[in-house]
Structure 1
Amino acid sequence: MRTEPTLRIPLGILGLCAVLTVYAIVIARYVPDLIGDWNALFQAIVYLALGLVWLLPLRRFLIWMETGRWG
């Protein structure tokens, strides 16, 4: 457990918010053009998958914010 505060946590949170904002804008801009004619069920599945895919790198990123290591 660390006792001294680091800038990794606030910078990491700001970076995470920035990346998620860009990701959301890209998804909102390009995905409806690609799947707009699909059945609503298939659209829901695609949006659900895209809503969960950003979680994949989150664990390593949170570990880096706490420890400074990617592992």
Structure 2
Amino acid sequence: MSEPSWRKPAGVLAILALILIWVALIASLSNVIGGLVWPLQLIVYVVTGIIWIAPLKPMLRWMETGRWRA
């Protein structure tokens, strides 16, 4: 039986930190975004709601294998 990896708990904490930082960044821009017309607001929030997912694949790969790239 192999020893449990420290990468999984570290990765989970990194993902949570990423989410918190992203939320704080977008929330800090809420006055600017709120000044846009609603269709632009919708686009901004949809795009920023999807962008944070991009770093997850390499992070999850690292958590499982210890490598950033395939």
* TM-score after normalising by structure 2: 0.86
1:13 aligns with 2:21: no
The gaps in structure 1 that reach 5 residues or longer are none
What amino acid is the match of 1:57? P
- Structure 1 Cα separation of the partners of residues 18 and 53 of structure 2: 12
Q: Report the aligned-residue RMSD.
A: 1.6
Structure 1 residue 35, shift from structure 2 partner: 2.1
* TM-score after normalising by structure 1: 0.85
After TM superposition, the runs of 4+ consecutive aligned structure 1 residues lying more than 3 A away are none
User: Larger relative contact order (C-alpha < 8 A, sep ≥ 6)?
Assistant: 2
Residue aligning to 1:22: 21
Q: How many residues align?
A: 69
Of 42, 55, 59, which aligns to 2:57? 59
